[in-house]
């Protein structure tokens, strides 16, 4: 099972980092899919979480839905950007989950 998180305003929150650790401990393949351009900043956090470097995907200016259309083996992607979530849900088979007050319940519902 493969899932992903956005970085800025998502995985950089401690509560999401704790959740990512829980998923890794359960044997779930955790990835980061981000448009962030500051690689060292992202890798510092992902190293602490034991997310392998090859599981961190820097998209630059590529739209996330294009990435997920070409990499459809993810269950869900958690993101704070409503437009990214909407496009992922509209144009791919991956479930886009909005980082809102129900994010964790929505994520858990999709992996159990």
CA-wise closest residue to 34 among 6, 62, 9: 6
Please report, for residues 20, 47, 67, 102, 111, the alpha-carbon distance to residue 17 in angstroms, rounded to integers and kept in the order given.
Answer: 5, 12, 23, 16, 17
Q: Where are the domains of the chain?
A: 2-111
* 57-90: pLDDT as tens digits: 999 989 999 999 999 999 999 999 999 999 999 9
Is the per-residue pLDDT at 106 higher than 80?
yes
Please report, for residues 28, 35, 68, 71, 73, the alpha-carbon distance to residue 38 in angstroms, rounded to integers and kept in the order given.
Answer: 26, 9, 22, 23, 26
Does the reported pTM lie above 0.85? Answer: yes
CATH number for the domain running over 2-111: 3.40.50.1000
């Amino acid at each position: 099972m493969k899932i992903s998180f956005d970085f800025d305003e998502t995985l950089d929150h401690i509560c999401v980092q704790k959740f990512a650790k829980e998923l890794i401990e359960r044997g779930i393949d955790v990835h980061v899919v981000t448009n962030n351009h500051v690689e060292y900043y992202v890798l510092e956090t992902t190293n602490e979480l034991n997310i392998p470097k090859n599981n961190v995907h820097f998209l630059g200016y590529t739209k996330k839905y294009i990435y997920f259309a070409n990499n459809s083996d993810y269950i869900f992607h958690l993101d704070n950007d409503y437009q990214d979530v909407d496009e992922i849900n509209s144009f791919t088979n991956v479930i886009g989950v909005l980082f809102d007050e129900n994010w964790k319940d929505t994520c858990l519902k999709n992996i159990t």
